[in-house]
Structure 1
């Protein structure tokens, strides 16, 4: 199902939500859900602060594990950190917190991590939501899906990738608080190919494509693939690549629509 949305906090109906008369449902009409978010490259838990606050206001549990070498764990960066390291980071949180019935969200690079998690422990996942994210198949790396190493600059050290520029329309306020927190990404997280044991996760899947991009859109390939696929719920939204920062209310309302509805 294709859904286009722009107004903050508003969206058209989707097939996962019971109707309240106008095709939408109040967030408080849902049961408590557990959202586990796999953040994007160069980021960390901090990048989802606005979304965390909005979802928790609706009494949902929200976890955003920061990967090794980024955010508050930047001091652990080393040349051996790879995609599997980050998958294990998130898997450990799931297992040590004993999380089940998870709404698993992957943003951008986090789609690589989320796909690995769903493959390793599918019985823990209730729903997968890709937010302008890479969706790899078995044997694919982020480089394979983004045009190769030339798409990203290498740092002087050689094993780190500096953050890409923020979208030109990012507000000065958002640039001011996010720029100092972004950290270089270990290169092996982009170059390592993901190995999958299962062809398709058994849980429902949704894709959110952010259309407001002035430059190359790495994620159009996935929008084209899933927008007409009946196995996927699809949403196109007029937002930048990082709606968790630039359009948090819009994204939060869309994520809330996937919380489980109570029995009649």
Structure 2
């Protein structure tokens, strides 16, 4: 008989698992809902000794009391840290570890590193400086969004979450996790909540880009399940989560294939384009037209995060080279840039890289610095916010292809400036050319529709070019006549706003 040990996340206790535990027991399994020290319902003052190490020891004692060898440890949010620590000390007792909408911490990682919201991280650090043994007050109302999407969570469940939440002992978030590696080979399953911005497609895309952590998941045979809900599936989709946990315990789930064939982003561009001269300066490549005098420029901004060690880098990917060369063939300077969006916390650094690249391009004597367009792709779409909010006079057009236009839940960017769906209200009559794909991932499509609605409300000069049967990254995935037509229409529209020759 399988025994599930269910460990809750920050500010919560075993009570969040009651429906899931009942479902597991109804299916013939045993279930143990864990409330760790200091996390009692509506707890108050800090409990002496309530830290990560104490929580690990509590789980170890529980594991020792559970009869049989088929023990599945399930960790949600913060709970994955004591789960990994306990598994490391009792690897022979554990048959599987299940991560519920949370990453895999490594040796030396404090739980704070997995908290997505930067505001929460800064607050914890500030409180810890004042009193390292203190607590982080429990969230209320909309503050729960800082820990993850509340999508799918009924109003009464959110109210109960707030009512029963306990202050989180600061040492549980700041104390580093210590692992010997004894549990490194244990079977592992990830439950990804798509409404919180995670999905199997994202994991596979990162593996294809060469991300070491994502590729390791493939090599280790980690299985995955998706749930179409937010960060608290035990409250928003308990029946579905019960089914997933039972299937995970049986060794089922999706496995990310080891990348052997050419990744989608490295497949050929969908159009044959005559080669034009290309010059490289630092992180910037200029694709030059056959023309006299300064010419307008189109700067292409890639998405990410792209691992720092990924090769080739985005400016050498076929789609970006193809676009830039096509632009150059039609009379403008095509510009590709490598910016340093290597992790979600690096949007500020990436924005600085883009601003520096634009300054370099506009200073080039072959470029008409008064006629520049910016073209944002995928997650690079968030970087459009600054330029939409206050467009400079030289910016003649903003374009975007299958972009992310509002931070996804779980990215920790809710309070940042990187919100094009809000910034578009400052765009005035700046032309905006949006290429929208019909087969977009749902979590991204929501941000596009939010942007389109905001643009319509404020009267922005938005042109939408639809690719009904196109996927995210369609230029190297869907080489159809409809896709080629969409690329041609978008390029010619942008060049038209620049007054470039597009004959």
For structure 1, the residue ranges without an aligned partner over 5 or more in a row are 1-31
Match of 2:97 in 1: 128
Aligned counterpart in structure 1 of residue 218 of structure 2, from 222, 229, 234: 229
Match of 2:30 in 1: 61
1:163 corresponds to: 138
Q: Deviations over 1:126-146 (max 9, x none)?
A: 111111124211111112333
User: How far apart, CA to CA, are the structure 1 residues paired with 2:34 and 2:247?
Assistant: 22
When normalised by structure 1's length, the TM-score is: 0.75
Task: Please say which of residues 126-135 and 252-261 is displaced more in the overlay.
Answer: 252-261
| Contact map agreement 1:132 1:209 (CA 8 A) in 2 | yes
CA contact (8 A) 1:33 1:260 kept: no
Q: Which segments of 5 or more consecutive residues in structure 2 lack a partner in the other structure?
A: 207-212, 252-503
Deviation, 1:211, is 1.8
Judging changes above 3 Å, is the alpha-carbon distance between structure 1 residues 137 and 148 closer, same or farther for their aligned structure 2 residues? farther
**Structure ID, larger Rg:** 2
**1:86 is matched with which residue?**
55
Aligned to 1:179: 162
1:189-208 aligned at under 5 Å gives the runs 189-198=172-181, 200-208=183-191
For residues 109 and 99 of structure 1, the distance between their equivalents in structure 2, rounded to whole angstroms, comes to 26
Q: Please tell me the root mean square deviation across aligned C-alpha atoms, in Å.
A: 3.0
1:213 aligned to 2:196?
yes
Aligned length: 226
| C-alpha separation in 1, matches of 2:53 and 2:20 | 26
TM-fit CA distance, 1:177 = 2.4
| Local SS of the residue matching 2:72 | strand
C-alpha displacement of 1:100:
2.8
Deviations 1:143-189 (A, max 9, x none): 23337974344579851112343345432121232221110000010
Structure of greater relative contact order (alpha carbons < 8 Å, 6+ residues apart): 1
Distance 1:147 1:213 in 2: 11
Q: Is the 8 A contact 1:87 1:117 kept in 2?
A: yes
Q: Among 171, 195, 201, which residue is 1:188 paired with?
A: 171
**1:52 aligns to what SS in structure 2?**
helix
More deviation, 71-80/186-195 = 71-80
Matched residues in 1 for 2:203 and 2:232: separation?
A: 16
SS at match of 1:212: helix
1:251 partnered with 2:241: yes
